[in-house]
Amino acid sequence: MALFSETSTLITGPWRLVPPLVLAAAAVYLLLPRPRGRSVLWGAVCGVSALILAGFVCFRSDGAVFPESFLFCAFSALAVTGGAIMITQPNPARAAICFALVVMNVCGLFPLQAAPFLMAAAIMIYAGAIIVTFLFVLMLAQPTGFSDADDRSREPFLAAFAGFTLLGALLLLLDYSYPPAKPLADLLDRVDIARNRDTSQGIREALGNRKVLLDDLRREYRQVPSKVVGEKWGAAVDNLEFELDRTDTASLREHLAELAAVGRAIQKAKVAKPMPAQNVAALGRLLYSDYILAVELGGALLLIATIGAIAIAGRKPGRAVA
């Protein structure tokens, strides 16, 4: 499955991101709190439609559904849904619980990216401490009298427009920086086919359009994991560009072989290494042995914050602050 596919929808190019973003912005605008009531039904319809359309636009299935792909889609959808409910929920306590839902689903994405430390740290710090502190403050610091501050939003249209414009800019940047996952393998297969041709003209025909080929090869340079290998890849692409204007078949084959060898090295470097066993267990041992002082200081800070919230909530109305 590839991210930001160019063939999964009839709309191609950057414009394929516009329909789901517009639907998502409309959903948030309709669901934001307002004094005269909200179009909850239409907002929910727009939100579900945006999620479905985003799935068609951003993802492409190559036939096989891997567990990692399914978990990524599930965690992402739940995190986005929880975030939308969090910012449109007028009840602060329920918004904090929705924030916990977002954090837990984001923590589910970290192991898929081989980042167990971030998963464990986010669970302990956010889901286990910060959100609990939010709930303590909300329960203890109860204001007196009625206030409709949580039942209305200031400039809902501008907020939705600005937020999703920024999101669209970030998605376009990701679309430009991280193209689909298979072009390198396709390019190397095309290079191998071209190397087997007998004439320079046949090699050029197998490689296809010269400008498109060179643009695709240089685009891969941004994703090379190693600087040394990246320099070799850039040099191989430059040599091939120079050689494409000549008619020496043997030299052209030699540079294609060089490009293929560097490309295979890049493919091997991109293969994710399995995480070592007992990774999280080793993290726990470090936190409660070498870094026990930092953990205890963090716990003491949260305890002081809780005591402060209780002290503020316990003051009688009209009592002067010392």
Both 64 and 104 in one domain: the answer is: yes
Both 201 and 117 in one domain: the answer is: no
Reported as a single tens digit per residue, the pLDDT across 57-89 is 766 554 445 677 788 888 988 898 888 888 888
The phi and psi torsions of 48 (rounded to 5 degrees) equal -65, -40
Is residue 108 one of the residues assigned to a domain? yes
Which residue range is the domain that position 260 belongs to? 183-269
Both 157 and 25 in one domain: the answer is: yes
Residue 241's nearest CA partner among 218, 220, 264 is: 218
pTM of the model: 0.57
Q: Is the dihedral of CA 192, 197, 199, 201 positive or negative?
A: negative
Residue 137's nearest CA partner among 321, 307, 320 is: 307
Each residue of 262-301: b (16+ CB within 10 Å) or e?
A: bbebbeeeeeeeeeeeeeeeebeeeeeeeeeeeeeeeeee
The domain total for the chain is: 2
Residue 3's nearest CA partner among 82, 112, 107, 94 is: 112
Segment (H or E) for 288: none
Residue 29's nearest CA partner among 167, 170, 161 is: 161
Is residue 42 one of the residues assigned to a domain? yes
Reported as a single tens digit per residue, the pLDDT across 228-278 is 677 788 888 888 888 777 777 888 888 888 888 888 877 776 655 555 556
Both 78 and 139 in one domain: the answer is: yes
Is a pLDDT exceeding 60 seen at residue 96?
A: yes
